[in-house]
Amino acid sequence: MAKPAFIYAFDNLGPEKFAELCGLLLAARHKGFVLGGVGPDGGVDGEVDDMLGSWTVEVKDALLNEIVQPNQTVVFQFKHVVTGRVGGQSRARDHLLGMYKCSDGKSCEIHKSLVLAKNPFCYVLVTNVEVNSNFRERFIRQCKQHNPNITRYQVIGLDELEGWLTTDANLRHLYFPAMFGPPRFQLRVHVSKAAAFVKYSDGKHGDPTDMLMVSVMNVGTETSYVSSVSFRTIVDGQDESVYIYDLNDGFLKQINPPSGAAVEPGRRLDYKFPYEVLNGIRRRGKEVFPYEVWAYDEIGNLYTGKIPEELIHKILDDQTLD
């Protein structure tokens, strides 16, 4: 559940601005995402709209706790609700569920022509309403009953949107300028391929070892520190965090910055991890997919970076991990 005092005033954005912001957040996470237009139905009481986004997956990718395969199409429908008008979060959830139930000759949202024309594999409701597990289960079960031709259903609610916006200082400042100025603490995470040499006690170096390199750049205005690095992984349909960063490890200590090293504004720290360190990820389940790196600073702010496609395949397929 989201925090009792919500950080961002999503209610004040209105349907079009809300869809625009969500489109930018999704486009930053999913290559090939396209934000569509508003359908002929317009809105309902000025609170919801029929604007769609679509994503035809080019390579295997992660969507919340689902693994989406190449050439599958995902449709996102944005539903903005002013919770104060409908009587709070609980009634807002009931209000949304009512929109996804066919009755008296009226088609529900997943039977709208704009959705059916996309022939989606997965349908995602994106809303500013606070989503709990009960609503999520009811929504998915109800949608499957009314339109079983769509294989999967997902919900992106207030929690996910707040988390994503917290990691994007530029959008934060753009859409909520009265609340946020330029970020004091802001790190940017980039994942790439690298190589490193092990230095032995006799001073000689071993053969180069392929590495996964996590670069953490300080783009804020204050000196910051990295307190932890973890890998986000979907394991048999469950989203898990795998922590592998331990500077006390002898090999990692050789090739990484010391614990507590400062990251000054405009500078970066590079953390290298041998693919062998990730070996345990492959043994956690039948269907495993590492997709993102999370880094926390010393005051608990979260920063994320996506693992490139070719490196995901390297982690999962490299024969040296067998």
Segment (H or E) for 54: strand 52-56
% of the chain at pLDDT higher than 90: 28
Decide if pLDDT at 248 tops 80.
no
What is the tens place of the pLDDT at every residue in 77-99?
A: 999 988 777 778 888 899 899 88
C-alpha 75/C-alpha 53 separation (Å) is 6
Which two structure tokens, joined as six digits, stand for 288?
A: 């495993």
Q: Which domains does the chain have, with CATH numbers?
A: 10-175 (no CATH), 187-321 (2.60.40)
**Residue 59: HSE in the Cβ half-sphere, 13 Å Cα cutoff:** 11
Return the pLDDT at 104: 76
Return the pLDDT at 278: 64
Signed CA dihedral, 304, 310, 316, 320: sign only: negative
- Determine the residue type at 277: V
C-alpha 250/C-alpha 200 separation (Å) is 11
Tell me the pLDDT band of 155, cut-offs 50, 70 and 90: very high
C-alpha 77/C-alpha 123 separation (Å) is 8
C-alpha 175/C-alpha 60 separation (Å) is 31
Return the pLDDT at 50: 64
Decide if pLDDT at 38 tops 60.
no
Return the pLDDT at 49: 57
Tell me the pLDDT band of 10, cut-offs 50, 70 and 90: confident
Tell me the pLDDT band of 244, cut-offs 50, 70 and 90: low
Ranges 134-143, 207-216, 221-230, 308-317, most confident = 134-143
Return the pLDDT at 180: 54
- Determine the residue type at 310: E
Provide the pairing of β-strand 33-35 with 66-68: unpaired
% of the chain at pLDDT higher than 70: 80
Ranges 9-23, 150-164, 273-287, most confident = 150-164
Return the pLDDT at 73: 94
What's the mean per-residue pLDDT of the chain?
Answer: 81
Signed CA dihedral, 128, 81, 115, 97: sign only: positive
Return the pLDDT at 246: 57
Give me the helices (H) in the chain, please: 14-29, 83-86, 89-99, 113-116, 133-146, 158-166, 169-175, 250-255, 279-282, 309-317
pTM (2 d.p.): 0.74
Decide if pLDDT at 151 tops 90.
yes
Cβ pair 271, 303 in contact under 8 A: no
Provide the pairing of β-strand 187-196 with 238-243: unpaired
Residue 184 phi, psi dihedral angles, 5° rounding: -80, -45
Taking residues 149-154, report their average pLDDT: 94
Cβ pair 33, 54 in contact under 8 A: yes
Taking residues 263-275, report their average pLDDT: 88
What is the tens place of the pLDDT at every residue in 161-200?
A: 988 887 887 787 777 765 555 667 888 999 998 877 666 6
Return the pLDDT at 281: 63
Segment (H or E) for 212: strand 209-218
- Determine the residue type at 94: D
Return the pLDDT at 66: 87
C-alpha 109/C-alpha 168 separation (Å) is 30
